[in-house]
Amino acid sequence: MAARLIARKVRFSNLDVAYTAGLLHDIGKVILNRSMKDTYHEVVERVSVGDMPFNQVELEILGFDHAIVGSRVASKWHLPEQLVEAIAWHHDPRQAQTNPQLTAIVHIADAVCMAMGIGIGVDGMLYAISDGAMELLGLDEMVIEKSISELTDVFCDQQVFNLG
Ligand SMILES: [Fe+2]
């Protein structure tokens, strides 16, 4: 939802693609958690210390991170290249070539969610927003703050209606 909101703000051409990219961007975490349960638990434990970003801990313990795993799987699933790329580079959006805007949107949306404490989130304060992604999308801090405020309203509304 954050990716779609950011996409709308920057007049990205396809909001559904942004939504899908946002939904799938961390698919590598799901795969690693299922396939390497004990080792991945060690990663999560190490992240909870709070002094290192999630993907750096993965690199240190596993030798690879969830972004590369997710992109490999997305590629095997024959997802469109722009989605594979957004999954691969959502923590390093400068590397994107096929659709840098889409990767930048996912990166910013991820950072916004981390700042809001959504997700595992213990490394949220360590999440560095790429200046290049902000520039590429023509975003400034005011827009990010407004997005956080709008998303907070959306999530509060959802919780109100999610009574089951
Ligand atoms: Fe990630």
Closest CA to 84 of 24, 30, 3: 24
Stated pTM of the model: 0.91
Q: How far is the CA of 67 from the centre of ligand 1 (A)?
A: 6
Q: How far is the CA of 77 from the centre of ligand 1 (A)?
A: 19
pLDDT in tens, 42-72: 999 999 888 888 999 999 999 999 999 999 9
Matching residue, tokens 């590369």: 68
Please state the separation of Cα 141 from the chain's center in Å: 18
Q: How far is the CA of 140 from the centre of ligand 1 (A)?
A: 22
Q: What is the largest CA-CA distance in the chain?
A: 43
pLDDT in tens, 108-127: 999 999 888 776 555 656 67
- CATH number for the domain formed by residue range(s) 2-156: 1.10.3210.10
Q: How far is the CA of 109 from the centre of ligand 1 (A)?
A: 11
Gap between the Cα atoms of 36 and 34, Å rounded: 6
Q: Collapsing DSSP states into helix, strand and coil, what is residue 157?
A: helix
